[in-house]
């Protein structure tokens, strides 16, 4: 997904780290990784540890980190847009105008990464970066403990109990699409983008599924 960008910038002290939030494990993610033909890091996060650590709620999200290891752009949507919400569900296609806008938004995001790597543009000062950080609440912290337990129980074949913990995690952290969709996917591949997913997306109303980055 990021190989073209990486190939172009890798001689400029730049690295891409792509993390697969995949509780089904490496073998389940492998076909996508093989297809990407990438030479950056492709990591596997079966327990969604990165999401817990960085307070993430959906994929794809990205964090920009400078050479000193400092966060210069907190988690934000990485190039995806809400145009998919208007697609024709029967044919799974988008109107040409939506397709164009979607592609343009992705190009603009890639262009912003390019500008950051080459000129430092778009890196936020500390106060601005802090201001955009979403807060971890005690409910979110409990949700991650339950999610972790749920993934473990499911992996041991304690399916019903694992599902119950994951459902409780989703109830405590309703903003996390990752928790809900991962649980749905563990239940059955495809369920994460099935009828219940679309119902949840529709229930957002005017709220975004992928909040656009403020670049």
Pick out residues in 135-194 that bind other proteins (CB under 8 A): 135-138, 140-142, 144-146, 148-149, 152-153, 158, 161, 165, 178, 181-182, 184-185, 189, 192-193
Which residue stretch of 43-51, 89-97, 100-108, 203-211 sits at the interface with other proteins (rule: CB under 8 A)? 43-51
- Could you tell me how many residues make up the chain? 215
Cβ-based nearer residue to other proteins, 50 or 94:
50
- Least separation in angstroms between residue 97's CB and other proteins is 26
Instruction: Give the 3-state secondary structure of residue 43.
Output: strand
| Of 105, 107, 104, 85, the residue nearest 94 (C-alpha) | 85
- Least separation in angstroms between residue 113's CB and other proteins is 6
Which residue stretch of 85-93, 95-103, 129-137, 202-210 sits at the interface with other proteins (rule: CB under 8 A)? 129-137
Q: How many alpha carbons lie under 13 Å from residue 207 in its C-beta half-sphere?
A: 7
Cβ-based nearer residue to other proteins, 82 or 192:
192
Q: Cα–Cα distances in Å, from 32 out to 28, 36, 210, 213?
A: 9, 6, 22, 25
Q: Which residue has the tokens 């403020």?
A: 214
- Least separation in angstroms between residue 203's CB and other proteins is 19
Cβ-based nearer residue to other proteins, 87 or 110:
110
Q: For residues 67-106, which are near other proteins according to CB under 8 A?
A: 67-71, 74, 78
Structure tokens at 177: 């699409």
- Least separation in angstroms between residue 98's CB and other proteins is 22
Q: Which of 1, 87, 167, 201 binds other proteins (CB under 8 A)?
A: 1
Cβ-based nearer residue to other proteins, 104 or 189:
189
Cβ-based nearer residue to other proteins, 61 or 81:
61
Q: What is the spatial distance between Cα 51 and Cα 153, in angstroms, rounded to a whole number?
A: 19
111 backbone dihedrals φ, ψ, rounded to 5°:
-65, -35
Which residue stretch of 49-57, 84-92, 94-102, 205-213 sits at the interface with other proteins (rule: CB under 8 A)? 49-57
Q: Rounded to a whole number, what is the distance in angstroms from the first to the last CA of the chain?
A: 21
Exposed (0-12), middle (13-18) or buried (19+): which is 179, by Cβ within 10 Å? Answer: buried
Structure tokens at 25: 């494990």
Cβ-based nearer residue to other proteins, 12 or 90:
12
206 backbone dihedrals φ, ψ, rounded to 5°:
-80, -10
């Amino acid at each position: 997904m990021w190989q073209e960008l990486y190939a172009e910038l890798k001689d400029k002290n730049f690295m891409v780290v792509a993390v697969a939030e995949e509780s089904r494990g490496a073998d389940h993610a492998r076909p996508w990784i093989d297809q990407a033909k990438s030479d950056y890091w492709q990591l596997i996060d079966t327990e969604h540890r990165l999401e817990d650590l960085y307070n993430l709620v959906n994929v794809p999200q990205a964090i920009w980190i400078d050479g000193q290891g400092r966060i210069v752009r907190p988690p934000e949507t990485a190039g995806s847009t809400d145009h998919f919400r208007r697609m024709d569900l029967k044919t799974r296609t988008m109107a040409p105008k939506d397709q164009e806008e979607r592609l343009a938004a992705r190009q603009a995001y890639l262009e912003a990464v390019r500008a950051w790597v080459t000129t430092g543009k778009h890196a936020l000062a500390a106060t601005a970066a802090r201001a955009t950080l979403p807060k971890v609440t005690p409910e979110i912290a409990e949700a991650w403990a339950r999610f972790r337990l749920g993934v473990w129980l499911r992996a041991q074949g304690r399916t019903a109990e694992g599902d119950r913990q994951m459902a409780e995690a989703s109830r405590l952290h309703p903003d996390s699409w990752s928790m809900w969709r991962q649980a749905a996917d563990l239940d059955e591949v495809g369920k994460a983008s099935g009828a219940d997913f679309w119902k949840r997306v529709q229930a957002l109303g005017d709220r975004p599924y992928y909040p656009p980055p403020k670049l």
